[in-house]
């Protein structure tokens, strides 16, 4: 893999509609076998008790593990087959960073894990999942440019 692949994955991630509308403070840094996804917490992500909704935890954890896996696959888009999440503590402000890594791989299936950390470096959630290769080529038409 090379830096050009990682840069294209970052641009693809950041240009996705969900990341430039709803999650408009998202950041991404992708390297071989790892990805960091950042988000500044905003009240628009809160549930009724004033902390971020579980779907935000899931999105950040899945995205970090997903792009860690896609960093080692340069021809096709990866798909999340399954993902388990474990919540540790609520978050109601600050910046979050999800760090994903590839833990194992075969020809078509990969295991990725991720941790979600608050500004103090405390783990607020963690997760792991299985990812598989799709038949969709990485092309400019899907934002890989």
- Cα distances (angstroms) measured from residue 117 to each of 17, 72, 124, 140: 24, 24, 6, 32
Three-class DSSP category at 15:
helix
Is residue 142 within 8 A of residue 77, CB to CB? The reply is yes
Q: Going residue by residue through the chain, which has 145 residues, state the pLDDT in tens, using 9 for 90 and above.
A: 699 999 999 999 999 999 989 999 999 999 999 999 999 999 999 999 999 999 999 999 999 999 999 999 999 999 999 999 999 999 999 999 999 999 999 988 999 999 999 999 999 999 999 999 999 999 999 999 9
Q: Which domains does the chain have, with CATH numbers?
A: 3-140 (3.10.129.10)
Q: How many Å from the N-terminal Cα to the C-terminal Cα in the chain?
A: 15
Q: What is the pTM of this model?
A: 0.95
Tokens representing 30?
A: 């992708």
């Amino acid at each position: 893999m090379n830096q050009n692949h990682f840069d294209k994955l970052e641009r693809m991630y950041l240009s996705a509609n969900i990341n430039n509308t709803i999650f408009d403070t998202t950041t991404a840094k992708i390297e071989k076998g790892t990805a960091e996804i950042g988000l500044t917490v905003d009240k628009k992500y809160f549930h009724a008790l004033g902390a971020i909704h579980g779907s935000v935890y899931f999105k950040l954890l899945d995205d970090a593990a997903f792009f860690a896996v896609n960093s080692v696959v340069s021809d096709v888009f990866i798909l999340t087959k399954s993902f388990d999440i474990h919540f540790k503590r609520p978050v109601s402000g600050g910046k979050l960073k999800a760090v994903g890594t590839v833990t194992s791989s075969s020809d078509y299936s990969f295991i990725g894990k991720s941790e979600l950390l608050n500004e103090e470096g405390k783990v607020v959630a963690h997760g792991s999942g299985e990812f598989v290769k799709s038949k969709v080529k990485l092309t400019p038409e899907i934002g890989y440019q």
